[in-house]
Amino acid sequence: MNEIDPARRFSLDAVRKFDVPAENNTAGGMNDVARQVASQYRRDTMSPIMVSGVLRMVEFALLLVSGLAVYFYYVGFFNYLAWQYSLTIAATSFLAVVLFDVTDCYQIVALMRPIANFGRLLLVWAGTFALMALTAFTMKMSEDYSRLLFGTWFVIGFVLILGLRLVMSKLIRRWARDGRMERRAVIVGGGKAAEVLIRSVERQPYNDIRICGIFDDRGDKRSPPVVAGYPKLGTISELIEFARIARIDMLIVSLPLTAESRVLQLLKKLWVLPVDIRLSAHSNALQFRPRAYSYIGSVPMLDIFDKPINDWDSVAKRAFDIVFSIIGIIVFSPVMLATAIAIKLDSKGPVLFHQKRHGFNNEIIDVYKFRSMYTDKADPTAKQTVTKNDPRVTRVGRFIRKTSIDELPQFFNSLFGSLSLVGPRPHAIAAQSHNLLYNEVVDGYFARHKVKPGVTGWAQINGWRGEMDTNEKIRMRTEYDLYYIENWSLLFDLRILFLTPIRLLNTENAY
């Protein structure tokens, strides 16, 4: 990184100035330095995996279009071999992208240095044509192909690829410099081990890791307030809030494997966050086979937790939400219109009711429902659970709650992105059981928020819907939600979505 990291802008004096007991800090317990650093990282970044993935598609399209353009220029649009040439050009373009991938030409380091990788690009592109020619010769089709045509495409295709990569190298460097494409990491654990780790990471050429600070429960005597130029921003508990404000991608635990009990205590606190968690192995005495590690440059890491539904999975899930939300809105629009009219005729007040609920990463979101209670008796905080024959519920409200028609406006929440169609159901932020907040009842409750909440979910189709009047019900709902997060797939989402109408026929717990 060419610019000074925001985490490094604060001097040792600044850290000491704000090193005060938690009760004197601002809301949430984080000190002012940590809050200021976190505010620097509120903006989302572009994933390097996504950038290289999009480039694969662009290069395939570029090679395909250029090959077809050369063919149509030499031969024309109407030719009895048009389909054969088109298929060959498409297959060659696809093979080239696959070979570029196999030879690491889509690694960020390679994309930042196209001139240094000129020979490798040329060799792969030439090898692609050699394989194509060998295949054509083996299948006794080589006489059907024009050498001039494919020679022209070879030159034009390579010039286009090289030109695109020259442009991409400038863009990637600019994005890295501006902090738009990076992996943001926090070091957990300070002292000498953290310093060695930071120095090792910073020595990596073309490093896309931005260290955002250090968190450690130990006092200044055992863990210095500044390590390798980075301030210690707080304790592990304060890290939870920091990671929710900042868009952190990775937590690197800089503790030896021999400190087993301390590592386990940290992981128990940190696993609720939607981030990758890595255990630094660069200074551990225990040595595993190289394939047991992932690497940041040459620094070995043990993968402890991975962020769920990340990169291309998140793109697929978002596309799934948009498509099926639009279908749902179209299919259920007559039902929603009739419900809106019935609500207006039944009682005074607005048709829709919105409630603050916990969304992804504990963010507060507005969730919309059809109003099912009398306006003057509505409870936006949901401190009082709705019970059977609850006098606050209207006549229409009883019906739409039993049939879950009151949830239909959440198709719009899903379409616009605050909810997903399938996921853990969002709970009201003040929802309680026996005067205890849900997170006080269930250890690790906030791990439900590692993914977007959903309109329907695995817990709901397994019978855990409606009134949460016992601690056991909350625990079981959370258990099913965590199972969904750990086993997510598009097919799993599709299964839940199509089972939902069937399971809604069981209205035993819906009041």
The DSSP call for residue 383 is: -
Is 314 buried (19+), middle (13-18) or exposed (0-12) by CB count in 10 A? middle
Under the banding of pLDDT at 50, 70 and 90, the label for residue 142 is: low
pLDDT exceeds 60 at position 11: no
pLDDT at position 31 is 81
pLDDT at position 141 is 64
What is the token pair recorded at 230? 């980075």
Under the banding of pLDDT at 50, 70 and 90, the label for residue 16 is: very low
The DSSP call for residue 188 is: E
pLDDT at position 509 is 57
Strand 352-358 and strand 364-370: pairing? Answer: antiparallel
CA distance 155 to 484: 50
CA distances from 191 to 50, 62, 172 (A): 35, 50, 33
Longest dimension (CA), the chain: 85
pLDDT at position 192 is 81
CB atoms < 10 A from the CB of 230, how many? 22
pLDDT at position 483 is 93
pLDDT exceeds 80 at position 322: yes
CB 357 within 8 Å of CB 424: no
Q: Tell me the angle at which helices 147-178 and 82-102 cross, rounded to the nearest 10 degrees.
A: 40
If you average pLDDT over each of 31-45, 102-116, 132-146, which comes out highest?
A: 102-116
CA distance 187 to 189: 6
**Helix (H/G/I), strand (E/B), else coil: 81:** coil
Span 196-224, mean pLDDT?
Answer: 81
Under the banding of pLDDT at 50, 70 and 90, the label for residue 97 is: very high
- pLDDT tens for residues 464-506? 776 666 778 888 888 999 999 999 999 999 999 999 988 776 6
pLDDT at position 258 is 64
CA distance 238 to 235: 5
pLDDT at position 446 is 81
Span 244-261, mean pLDDT?
Answer: 80
What is the token pair recorded at 113? 């240095």
pLDDT at position 388 is 73
Q: What is the mean pLDDT of the chain?
A: 82
Q: What is the pTM of this model?
A: 0.76
Element (H, E) at 467: none
CA distance 264 to 437: 25
- pLDDT tens for residues 151-193? 899 999 999 999 999 999 999 988 888 778 888 889 988 888 8
Under the banding of pLDDT at 50, 70 and 90, the label for residue 119 is: very high
Which range (59-68, 302-311, 411-420) has the least confidence?
Answer: 302-311
Residue with tokens 């970044």: 45
pLDDT exceeds 50 at position 361: yes
Read out DSSP for 118-172? HHHHHHHHHHHHHHHHHHHHHTT-GGGS-HHHHHHHHHHHHHHHHHHHHHHHHHH
Span 438-447, mean pLDDT?
Answer: 74
pLDDT exceeds 90 at position 373: no
CA distance 361 to 501: 28
CA distance 205 to 208: 9
Share of the chain above pLDDT 70, in %: 82
Q: Tell me the angle at which helices 48-74 and 312-346 cross, rounded to the nearest 10 degrees.
A: 100
CA distance 329 to 408: 8
pLDDT exceeds 60 at position 284: no
CB atoms < 10 A from the CB of 339, how many? 22
pLDDT exceeds 60 at position 255: yes
pLDDT at position 24 is 38
CB 108 within 8 Å of CB 206: yes
Span 201-228, mean pLDDT?
Answer: 81
Under the banding of pLDDT at 50, 70 and 90, the label for residue 510 is: low
Beta bridge partners of 296: 299
CA distance 511 to 384: 13
Span 330-345, mean pLDDT?
Answer: 94
CB atoms < 10 A from the CB of 361, how many? 19
pLDDT at position 20 is 39
Query: Between residues 164 and 379, which one has the greater pLDDT?
Result: 164
Element (H, E) at 442: none
Span 76-85, mean pLDDT?
Answer: 66
